[in-house]
Amino acid sequence: MTTEKTRARHETLDLEEADLKSIYRAMLVARRVDERSWILNRQGKAAFVISCQGQEAAQIGAAYNLRPGHDYLYPYYRDSGMTLLLGQTPRGQFLSLLGKKEDPNSAGRQMPGHFSSRELNIVTSSAPVGVQYPQAAGTALAFKMRGEDGVVMACGGEASTSGGDWHEAMNFSGIHDLPVIFLVENNVYAISVPSKFQVAGSIAKRAEGYGFPGHEVDGNDVLAVYEAAKEAVERARRGDGPTLIEAKTYRMTAHSSDDDDRRYREREEIEAWRLKDPIIRFEKYLFENGLLDEDEKEAMDAEIKAFVAEASDYAENAPFADPEEALDRVYAEV
Amino acid sequence: MAEKNLLQAIHDGLAEEMRSDESVMILGEDVGRAGGVFRVTQGLQEEFGPERVLDTPLAESLIVGSAIGLSVNGMRPVAEIQFADFIPPAFDQIVNEAAKFYYRSNGAWTVPITIRAPYGVVPGGALYHSQSIEAWFCNTPGLKVVAPTFPADAKAMLKSAIRDPNPVLFLEHKRTYRLIKEDVPEDGHEVPLNKARVHREGGDITVVSYGLMLYTALEVAGKLSEELGIETEVVEPRTLYPMDRETILNSVKKTGKLLVISEANITGSVSGEIAAIVSQEAFEWLDAPVIRLGAPDVPAAAFAKPMMDFFVPSAEKIEAAMLELARY
Ligand SMILES: Cc1ncc(C[n+]2csc(CCOP(=O)(O)OP(=O)(O)O)c2C)c(N)n1
Ligand SMILES: [Mg+2]
């Protein structure tokens, strides 16, 4: 009975077996790249790590609905799961982590997690929290003005909804029915500040005030996020306007490699959330539905770990840009 | 060629660019049916429709932020900030975002936007409708800051700004909108965003100025030439950042004396930067200390007319400073 019911879940979403495996694989790649980054940090090779761990379901479930290079993504610093899914590579990620010349995001100019790809329409991101939202609304407006079916996904943590930029963008998107999806990855903390001191009421419900739908979803359930985002993307493509998705999830690591989260959260709390790890959860679904078995999983994981190690080695051996290159590309040539 | 004032010249520049390039659009507060509070965009919504001349909500960060987003998706937006005094909410989007996209993506993303902002002291304007805000932005690599004064230059430079692949902050002195009319070429007149203009040649003193103060400087220079035979070279930077140092330095090397005049608060001003460049690069040619004239270091121009007039460098003060330099 249960099996039939759960099986019906991905089938009703029109997800084929191959899709489910791609999704699972993308989640695992993101996790393994992230874990490797921390190792490089502990070895003293990576100056700074900011992690996606715990948020893979929210990221991949949402971004699986995008057409890379056509739709636009405004990611935030944890969205490596998304950018890897859309076509950035682990090698690129490590080159960025180590600040090497071949770093595809910025050639060693920005911290890791500040993604950019002109080819993939991943718009260059920065550190000031929330600035991406008005930009995303503008990009969506351009699609609307030209009558194209492109959509824009703009992402951030729950604290990114506290500042004006988010509200200004929500309002503007509501006024013009813009093809934009606001994805808020609510991972409970903003560095040390828990969401109860960050968020009044409900983030998802705020959408109603701006005149468009807002959905709260279990952000650790990749199919739930996929479903909400699929509906949102279809709605945007039809020209019906924006959607807000609040994915409830949890930050499984410290804020960054510079943070010690023992100062502000209990170990028990993290342990409780580990049991809800989105990867383990999806694995269970795939096992239960006979879509994956232990051998296949092991083989996939081994293969991923191997190319992640290779990518990391490549980055370690790659050269830095010449120091004088810091002077280049301040202005585009007229 | 028709005679136009600054306001009409800017209007014409916008209209011509919109006619020749479908991706050019305008967004801001009251720019649509009302044609802007200064009437710069009058008639444009009628001609180009409500999307290409878009009335936005009152949210400056959104105005500039969405302009950035439009520009990375094929558009060339001209964002209007109704008064430069209200630009601070957009500061992050201008300084941290627009100006840094190109550098931080190692040249992958350009942000071809123009941000128009009327600035400067005007009767009745008071603290929040009169500030000179250029210094806030002239410390921002990746951004171009231009402040043309004369109508023909303004039209040509607006076109250059719109076509430029970089973000450009385009400052218009409100009190000069209708001050004079001059011949403004229909098209073909091009002014790049990296060239200062020498308005008047002279071998005795160099005056560098822009905006309303440039008019006063030119008047005083004419007077001193006629009455005392003192010949002043008047240089207008036109682009405040990055600035054409060459033209200023060449002039100072000829005259050995420099007065810089603007309406901005003096400390930390663009005038200070010009003075620093000259004292470092032309020290051996200088015969007198560089003098700066500007607004006193009080927050902004007051509402009451006598206090407002006191805030702005007057023709008398300018004349006194020029005579002081001439005596060296
Ligand atoms: C405007 C701004 N203020 C402060 C910071 C420093 N800062 C970086 S991340 C962060 C917390 C953000 O929390 P949230 O949006 O919930 O995202 P999370 O890190 O939890 O994924 C803070 C305070 C910043 N980057 N930008
Ligand atoms: Mg958070």
Helix, strand or coil, per DSSP, at residue B206: strand
Q: Identify the domain containing residue B322 by its residue range.
A: 197-326
CB contact under 8 A, B104 and A114: yes
Q: Which pLDDT belongs to residue B177?
A: 98
Residue B263 and residue B157 share a domain = no
Residue B191 lies in a domain: no
CA distances from B110 to A118, B142, B143 (A): 10, 10, 11
Task: Find how far residue B15's CA is from the centre of its chain.
Answer: 20
Q: Quick check: is B213 in a domain? A: yes
CA B294 and chain centroid, separation: 15
Q: For B74-127, how does the pLDDT look when each residue is reduced to its tens digit (9 = 90+)?
A: 999 999 999 999 999 999 999 999 999 999 999 999 999 999 999 999 999 999
Angstroms from A14 CA to nearest CA on chain B: 31
Q: What is the pLDDT of residue A5?
A: 56
Buried b (16+ CB within 10 A) or exposed e, B148-169: bbbbbbbbbbbbbbbbbebbbb
CATH code at B270? Answer: 3.40.50.920
Please indicate, yes or no, whether residues B152 and B42 belong to a single structural domain of this protein. Answer: yes
Please indicate, yes or no, if residue B192 is contained in any of the structural domains: no
For residue B190, is it within any domain?
no
In the predicted structure, residue B73 carries a pLDDT above the cut 60: yes
Radius of gyration of chain B from its Cα atoms, rounded to whole angstroms: 20
Query: Going residue by residue through chain A (334 aa), what tens digit of pLDDT does each one get?
Result: 455 554 569 999 999 999 999 999 999 999 999 999 999 999 999 999 999 999 999 999 999 999 999 999 999 999 999 999 999 999 999 999 999 999 999 999 999 999 999 999 999 999 999 999 999 999 999 999 999 999 999 999 999 999 999 999 999 999 999 999 999 999 999 999 999 999 999 999 999 999 999 999 999 999 999 999 999 999 999 999 999 999 999 999 999 999 999 999 999 999 999 999 999 999 999 999 999 999 999 999 999 999 999 999 999 999 999 999 999 999 999 9
* B97 vs A contacts (CB less than 8 Å): 126, 128, 131, 135
Is residue A99 situated within a structural domain? yes
Each residue of B171-209: pLDDT tens digit?
A: 999 999 999 999 999 877 889 999 999 999 999 999 999
**Nearest in space to B266 (alpha carbons), one of B290, B236, B243, B296:** B296
B200 three-class SS: strand
Residue B189 resides in a domain: no
What total of structural domains would you count in chain A?
A: 1
Whichever domain contains B114, its CATH number is 3.40.50.970
Instruction: Out of B149, B184, B219, pick the residue that ends a domain.
Output: B184
Q: What is the pLDDT of residue B187?
A: 76
Q: Do B30 and B165 share a structural domain?
A: yes
Quick check: is B109 in a domain?
Answer: yes
In a domain? residue A8:
no
Structure confidence at residue A1 (pLDDT): 44
Domain containing residue A180: CATH number: 3.40.50.970
Contact B102 A332 (CB under 8 A): yes
| B163 and B204 inside one domain | no
pLDDT at residue A8, as a whole number: 65
Nearest to B66 among A128, A138, A146 (CB): A138
Instruction: Please check whether residue A185 is in contact with residue A58, taking contact to mean a CB–CB distance below 8 angstroms.
Output: yes
In a domain, A327, yes or no: no
**Are B176 and B284 part of one and the same domain?**
no
Same domain, yes or no: B169 and B249: no
Among B52, B57, B144, select the one facing A175 at the smallest CB separation: B57
Does residue B167 carry a pLDDT above 80?
A: yes
Closest chain B residue by Cα to residue A325 = B106
Specify the residue for token string 């929040």: B128
Question: Residue of the nearest CA to atom 13 in ligand 1?
Answer: A190
User: Residue A33 in contact with residue A97, Cβ under 8 Å?
Assistant: no
Q: How far is the CA of B148 from the centre of ligand 1 (A)?
A: 40
- pTM, two decimal places: 0.98
Catalytic residue among A25, A255, A265, A281: A255
Q: Kindly list the protein residues whose Cβ atom lies closer than 6 A to any atom of ligand 1.
A: A 78, 127-129, 156-160, 187, 189-191, 251, 255
What is the number of structural domains in chain B?
2
Query: Does the residue A6 lie in any domain?
Result: no
Mutate which of A53, A182, A191 for ligand 1 pocket (most atoms within 8 A of beta carbon) = A191
Residues B161 and B80 in one domain: yes
Query: Do the domain assignments include residue A92?
Result: yes
How far is Cα A116 from Cα B103, in angstroms, rounded to an integer? 12
Asked if B129 is an active-site residue, the reply is: yes
Chain A residues touching B243 at Cβ < 8 A? none
Q: Write the single-letter amino acid at A22.
A: S
Instruction: Based on the fold, state whether residues B94 and B134 are members of the same structural domain.
Output: yes
- B61 and B14 belong to one structural domain: yes
What local confidence, expressed as pLDDT, does residue B188 receive? 77
The domain boundary, picked from B125, B152, B184, lies at: B184
What's the domain range around A297? Answer: 13-254+265-317
Both B284 and B319 in one domain: the answer is yes
Residue at A3 is within a domain: no
- In A, minimum Cα distance to B63 occurs at A134
* Closest by Cβ to A164, choosing from B61, B101, B105: B61
Beta strands at B182-184 and B197-200: parallel, antiparallel or unpaired: unpaired
Q: Are residues B140 and B242 in the same domain?
A: no
Residue A51: predicted pLDDT: 97
| B212/chain A closest Cα distance in angstroms | 29
Instruction: Let me know whether B17 and B146 are in one domain.
Output: yes
| Sheet of A72-74, strand order | A72-74, A152-157, A180-186, A243-248, A214-218
DSSP output for B244-284: -HHHHHHHHHHHS-EEEEEEEESTT-HHHHHHHHHHHHSGG
- Of B142, B160, B184, the residue that ends a domain is B184
